[in-house]
């Protein structure tokens, strides 16, 4: 016998499709990747694997880069700040600290051999299309790399795209929300910043000097391994159907 009020279930196919559309239309509704984003990530990874398989020189012709802030003081990671203590000894009290407001923007580009170009944003400037175009002009003097960068507005402006097209530059696509497949994010910037954490620098020049020192100390073998790991990440992305795969146990032999 029918009764008043809402039905006990509303999980109809129509409602499911409405929810899917809501998630796709408004990415803020979910922290997880939506269906289209996963498909896009997987398609990019499949395209990259196809290129690697058909051209053994492909990886050696890629240059990748991005920008990052380097701070006058950045907190240590929890692992760095841990101290040895006896079994019954209480945890030491540590003063509360936070990242400094003094910082400088670093732009780095590298290939499988090592850093190709690194420079700091001049004081008073912002990373806009004009600045990024100037970086591209410095990089593309007598060079013919395959370019990989992310989808930041300064990177994808018409001004920059016209310059790259004029120089017949092959640009690799970076799927949105995919820092796990961006070498600067999963390799270079963490490697650069870890030794700088917990240290205080007395000036902007000291930040720059120590940043460049850490970049120079990264061995060429680390960059080679980064590119090998990059290819593995494409395969892991495919194996996970485009979902995030960090920390997942994925057998690529299956």
CA separation (Å) from 34 to 25, 43, 128, 160, 173? Answer: 10, 14, 30, 30, 19
pLDDT at residue 30 in the model: 45
- Look over the chain and give the mean of its residue pLDDT values, rounded to a whole number: 84
Closest among 231, 254, 237 to 48, alpha carbons compared: 231
The pLDDT tens digits of the residues spanning 129-150 come to: 999 999 999 998 877 899 999 9
The pLDDT tens digits of the residues spanning 5-49 come to: 444 444 455 544 444 444 444 444 447 899 999 999 999 999 999
Which region, left, alpha or beta, applies to residue 5 given φ > 0 means left and ψ of -120 to 50 means alpha? left
pLDDT at residue 75 in the model: 76
Pairing of strands 146-148, 103-111: unpaired
Residues in the chain predicted with pLDDT less than 50, given as ranges, are 1-11, 15-30, 80-85, 95-96, 248, 253-254
| Residues 149/116, Cβ–Cβ less than 8 Å | no
């Amino acid at each position: 016998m029918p009764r008043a009020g809402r039905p006990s279930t509303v999980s109809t196919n129509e409602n499911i499709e409405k929810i899917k559309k809501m998630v796709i239309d408004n990415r803020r509704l979910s922290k997880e990747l939506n269906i289209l984003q996963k498909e896009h990530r997987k398609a990019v990874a499949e395209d990259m694997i196809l290129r690697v398989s058909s051209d053994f020189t492909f990886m050696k012709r890629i240059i990748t880069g991005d920008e990052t802030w380097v701070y006058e003081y950045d907190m240590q990671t929890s692992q760095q700040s841990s101290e040895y203590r006896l079994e019954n000894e209480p945890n030491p009290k540590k003063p509360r600290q936070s990242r400094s407001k003094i910082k400088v923007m670093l732009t780095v580009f590298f290939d499988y051999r090592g850093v190709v170009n690194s420079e700091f944003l001049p004081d008073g400037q912002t990373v806009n299309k004009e600045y990024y175009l100037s970086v591209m002009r410095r990089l593309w003097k007598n060079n013919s790399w395959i370019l990989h960068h992310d989808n930041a507005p300064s990177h994808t402006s018409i001004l920059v795209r016209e310059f790259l097209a004029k120089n017949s530059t092959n640009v690799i696509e970076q799927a949105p929300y995919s820092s796990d497949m961006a070498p600067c994010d999963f390799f270079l910037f963490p490697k650069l910043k870890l030794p700088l954490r917990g240290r205080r620098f007395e000036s902007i020049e000291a930040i720059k000097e120590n940043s460049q020192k850490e970049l120079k100390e990264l061995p060429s073998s680390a960059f080679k391994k980064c590119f090998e790991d990059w290819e593995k990440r494409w395969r892991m992305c495919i194996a996970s159907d485009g979902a995030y795969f960090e920390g997942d146990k994925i057998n690529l032999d299956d």
